Structure formats: structure tokens, C-alpha cells
Amino acid sequence: MTASPQRDPAQSPKYSDIVAAAQALFGEIGYEKTGIREIADRAHISLGTIYAYFPDGKSGVLSAALNERVERLVDYVAQTDKTEPLDMFLDRVRRLNTEIVRDSFLRRLFTDQERVTEPRLRERGIEIVKTFSDLAVGELESLTAQGLADCRDPEAIEMLLRVANAGWISAHHAGAPIVEHERLLDALLDSVAALIRIPPTARSRRVRP
């Protein structure tokens, strides 16, 4: 008699309910105030069920919640409808920053890492932010190398985009008077585009043999 293949726990509805509950609570009240019992209550399951799926408890649940949400974020950011390489980059930046502002779980991931005391989770959050930053820098370098942009300092541009978004989130959280986030992004991306976009006439001179 052959043993039936074990089902991937991540495909279980209960697993998904636990992850969704953790994402919601972490976004609403933060890592420190989120406990296993609160996650169980939000997911409408028992504590025993949570530990059956996540033997290491709270840190394991939130690590899974983080990974699942970032996977969806990557898929969303990649779904640009632009066709020009530079416009595709700028649209991906817009989609990333808009989603970070919209989703409270992502806001905490990208802006509140210092408040997470669990070393493994904090390091994972820092790693994810660095990955997105490195991707942006790499894309700007690639566009410049192909003659599709003229970005003299990709790291500075990436930091400008990241810090501006984080600053808006902090100001919003503090109740400071601010413009709508969409207006900020419009101004920011228009400025970056004007700074690094190569005029068509200059581009044609660059590619001329």
C-alpha cells in the first residue's frame, strides 16, 4: 500500500485564515501587541490549530504572513501596462509606493522595522526593503547603460523615492497637514522623469552609428 502524498499546509484554508489574520493585526496594532491568542480569535480557530501549522508560534506566523504579502506585492508591481522601459520603471515605482501606503501591513513592514523586536522577523523585513531598493538601482543602471535614461546617481534617486514615501507615511501618521499621496507621487515621479529622461533628439544622436 502506497502512502498518499502529504498536502502542502500552505494550501489549507485554515493556514490562509491564520496568515490573513496575522497580516490584519500586524497592520492594525503592530508586532508587539499582536499575540497568538489575538490571531486565533481573528481567524476563528483554536490555539492548538495555530501551533499545528506554526510550531514556533508568533514569529513563524508573522514570517509566513510577511512572505505571502510580499509575493502578492511583487506580482502587483510587475503588472504595469506601460510599454516604454523608463515609463515601466516609473509605473512600477508608483504601484509599489501606492500599495505600501494603502496596506497597513506593508506600511509597518517598510517604515516600522525598528519596533520589531523579533530578530529573525526584523532581519527579514530589512532584507525585503533592501531587495526592492537594489532592484530599483539595478533597473536605473540598466536603463542608463542601454541609453534609455541618463541617471548619474541611481542610489540617490532610489533613496529619494523611498524616503519621500516614508516621510509622507510618517507625516500622515502624526496628523501633520499634508497633500494627498497621489499628488506627492505625481510631483515626485514627474521630477525624477524630467531629471533622467533623455530627450528624443539626444537619444537619436546617441544611437546613430
The string of pLDDT tens digits covering residues 141-173 is 999 999 999 999 999 999 999 999 989 988 988
Distances (CA, A) of 62 to 8, 32, 50, 118: 18, 11, 12, 10
What are the extents of the domains in the chain?
10-64, 80-203
CATH architecture of 10-64: Orthogonal Bundle (1.10)
Taking the domain 80-203, which CATH number applies? 1.10.357
Distances (CA, A) of 28 to 25, 63, 69, 108: 5, 17, 15, 9
Which DSSP letter does residue 148 get? S
**Average pLDDT estimate for 73-79:** 93
Residue 128 has pLDDT above 50, yes or no: yes
Q: Report the chain's mean pLDDT, rounded to a whole number.
A: 87
Question: Quick one: cell of 49?
Answer: 490549530
Q: What is the pTM of this model?
A: 0.83
> Which of 83-87, 95-99, 103-107, 113-117 is predicted with the least confidence, judged by mean pLDDT?
113-117
CA angle 70, 75, 79 (to 5 degrees): 145
Q: Residue 204: what pLDDT?
A: 52
Question: Quick one: cell of 133?
Answer: 531598493
> Which of 52-61, 65-74, 105-114, 126-135 is predicted with the least confidence, judged by mean pLDDT?
105-114
CA angle 10, 15, 16 (to 5 degrees): 90
| Closest CA relative to residue 148, chosen from 77, 186, 199, 110 | 199
Q: Any idea of the CA torsion for 137, 141, 143, 147, to the nearest 10 degrees?
A: 160
